[in-house]
Structure 1
Amino acid sequence: MPAQPITFFSRLTQRIETESVYGEGFLRFTYETAPGLLPLHAVVKRAAFSRWYGARMDAPASRAKIAPFLATYGVDTAEFADPPESFRTFNEFFYRKLKPNARPIAAGANEVGFPADGRHLVLPDIAACDSFFIKGVRFDLAALLGDAQQARRYEHGSLLISRLCPVDYHRFHFPCSGTPGEAKQINGPLYSVSPIALRKRPSILWENKRELTVLRTENFGEVLLLEIGATCVGSIVQTFTPGVPVAKGDEKGYFRFGGSCFITIFEPGKIRFSDDLIEHSRAGREVYARMGDVAAYAQ
């Protein structure tokens, strides 16, 4: 049986496209074959494996990977704040900064911006979601938050999943203005967050190592922001200062090497997602959009 391609709708091109998956052969072996389950559970999901791979991406020799990566995936270097030849390691290139005007931020006070570049999927009412990637599998909010009481407060809230691929810009930003609290760490393994993995094991999103920040806002209530770790993510780095007010689009932090994910959760009745997100999410299809573009509106 041929491998099922990963498709998404691109806001940039206004058409359905096929994702070029970094490390696809390895992912399909470990998550789609019986022999692959042994290395997956014995080695790949463990933090030590990701630390080892992250250290390789911090080594000077990893610099040689940058030019081939740019050529293969067509990354737009004109957006970079620093030229590609200035990066001393692959990881420095991976969590690169962009020019200030590279990502316009949704200007309206009633607009929520995407927190990161990536492929986005929404659940307008978390509790009403009948399936998540696999029919009959519901999103386990209590497991994700590690707090049953907090989960009850948000169970009919709205959830945005922003999945970053290795080819994406890997800094994440605040989707709206407000005052952030401390980032709380919740331990877990480090499975891949690729759809190849999620189609086999949707629970990865509420099992993986993650960090949770509460953002108190004027227009959207208390918004929950979660960074989800993944295989080969060396670490999640927070660059914001807890307790200091932030503006929409301000940097919150960045992921070191690896595909990763950012989840944004809103209280019930606070927002309405953009029509294209609702339409494609109902069809089980992600929407590619960039950080700062409009994701939702105040309700």
Structure 2
Amino acid sequence: MKYFSLIVLFLTLIACQNKVDSGQKMKTINYIDRASGEARTEKVPSEGMLKWLYSSPSGKLALNVLFKRKFFSALGGWYMNTRISKNRIPEFIAEHNINLNEYQRDSVQDFSSFNDFFYRKLKPGARPIGEHLVSPADGKILVFSTIKDVRSFFVKGIEFTLTDFLRDKVLAEKYAGGAMAIIRLAPPDYHRYHFPASGIASESTKIKGHYFSVSPLALQKSLEIFCENKREYCTLATQEFGEIVIVDVGATMVGSILQTYQPGEVKKGDEKGYFAFGGSTLVLLFKQGKIQFDSDLIENTGKELETTIKMGEKIASPSNVL
């Protein structure tokens, strides 16, 4: 009876997203398409629900009482693993113009559930691996040459600190003054992630947390979400870029962060893991003076615009390479 009641509550709240007060306003989410250089507007999945959760008193109450909790995301993950969830796939593909020809399984009938589709694998060669440091995932990226730039970019809420984010003061001090990249994966994106460089990968360290959304509509409110959500990180010791910290951040409806790599030597482009259903984020941290981000990414971030990125695309060079 307990779980039946939770399911009823879950479905009722999902239905509420179509009854959001039209007077609630959150700014339009614009980004730059890297291939064309054009500015575009993002279509945010479940936008009505997110506006309700982060802009209204009743929504904020539901967010803190229910939506950020593990059982809610677990409930969503349970549904996304059922065969009935497979019925959502064709509409999702059409709505977001997903090209299944890029993937190892290129027919809807090949997937047993929506989650099975969600963390689908690419065909070999579908994402060429570029020079120097590459993006670990498909998504939209922001880059910051120093942590100070991160703090001035996200001005709302509690100040973002590496100590709070990593829950390790000694490790955080090593990256004080260093650079940071944030790669945000929206639900339509490819949800496996890879190593951005070759090197020696450590074991993954888990940090317990909640399950707030990492949608841009939620991040408008504060970057402190990253310091509250469930996350995992590993260090990657490289010759070109020094030691990199790779942080995998979960979110609402992300039932699992699953690591598929083995600690030890890895090559650039090797798969590191994947997220189950939901929007997610990867954060890369670099020690001071080790990397130089590509100029277009720096320019777009300076204009408060994310840039679309594909796994394997070059995003930075060593600081000694002009």
Q: How far is 1:12 from its partner? A: 2.2
Aligned to 2:127: 103
1:152 pairs with 2:176:
no
**Distance between the aligned counterparts of 1:219 and 1:52, measured in 2?**
43
Name the amino acid aligned to 1:45. Answer: K
Q: Deviations over 1:74-119 (max 9, x none)?
A: 111111111232001000000000111111101x3xx100010001
Aligned to 1:203: 224
Q: How far is 1:138 from its partner? A: 4.2
> Equivalent residue of 2:112, what SS?
coil
**Distance between the aligned counterparts of 1:64 and 1:128, measured in 2?**
44
The number of residues matched between the two structures is 295
Structure 2 matches for 1:111-260, cutoff 5 A?
Answer: 111-134=132-155, 138-243=159-264, 245-260=265-280
Q: Could you list the runs of 5+ residues in structure 2 that have no partner in the other structure?
A: 1-22
**Distance between the aligned counterparts of 1:266 and 1:295, measured in 2?**
13
Q: How far is 1:128 from its partner? A: 4.7
1:264 pairs with 2:288:
no
Task: Evaluate the alpha carbon distance shift between residue 128 and residue 91 of structure 1 in structure 2; reply closer, same or farther with a 3 A threshold.
Answer: closer
Name the amino acid aligned to 1:120. Answer: I
Q: How far is 1:13 from its partner? A: 2.5
Normalising by structure 2, we get a TM-score of 0.89
Structure with the higher fraction of residues in helix conformation: 2
Aligned to 1:32: 55
Q: Could you list the runs of 5+ residues in structure 1 that have no partner in the other structure?
A: none
Aligned to 1:47: 70
Moved more, 275-284 or 160-169: 275-284
Q: Deviations over 1:144-169 (max 9, x none)?
A: 11111211110111100000000000
Moved over 2 A (4+): 127-130, 132-139
Higher relative contact order (CA 8 A, sep 6+): 1
Q: Deviations over 1:114-148 (max 9, x none)?
A: 01000101111113544233368643111111111
Q: How far is 1:285 from its partner? A: 1.1
1:57 pairs with 2:85:
no
Provide the aligned C-alpha RMSD in A. Answer: 1.3
Contact 1:130–1:137 (8 Å) recurs in 2: no
Match of 1:91 among 115, 125, 129: 115
**Distance between the aligned counterparts of 2:209 and 2:145, measured in 1?**
26
Name the amino acid aligned to 1:90. Answer: F
**Distance between the aligned counterparts of 1:175 and 1:18, measured in 2?**
27
Name the amino acid aligned to 1:252. Answer: K
Contact 1:131–1:138 (8 Å) recurs in 2: no
Task: Evaluate the alpha carbon distance shift between residue 279 and residue 135 of structure 1 in structure 2; reply closer, same or farther with a 3 A threshold.
Answer: farther
Contact 2:195–2:267 (8 Å) recurs in 1: yes
Match of 2:313 among 289, 293, 298: 293
Aligned to 2:97: 74
**Distance between the aligned counterparts of 1:60 and 1:225, measured in 2?**
33
The sequence identity of aligned pairs, in percent, is 43
Q: How far is 1:202 from its partner? A: 1.7
Whichever of the two has the greater Rg, that structure is 2
**Distance between the aligned counterparts of 1:112 and 1:16, measured in 2?**
25
Name the amino acid aligned to 1:183. Answer: S
**Distance between the aligned counterparts of 1:194 and 1:153, measured in 2?**
29
Q: How far is 1:188 from its partner? A: 0.8
**Distance between the aligned counterparts of 1:166 and 1:128, measured in 2?**
27
Name the amino acid aligned to 2:111. Answer: F
Q: How far is 1:209 from its partner? A: 0.6
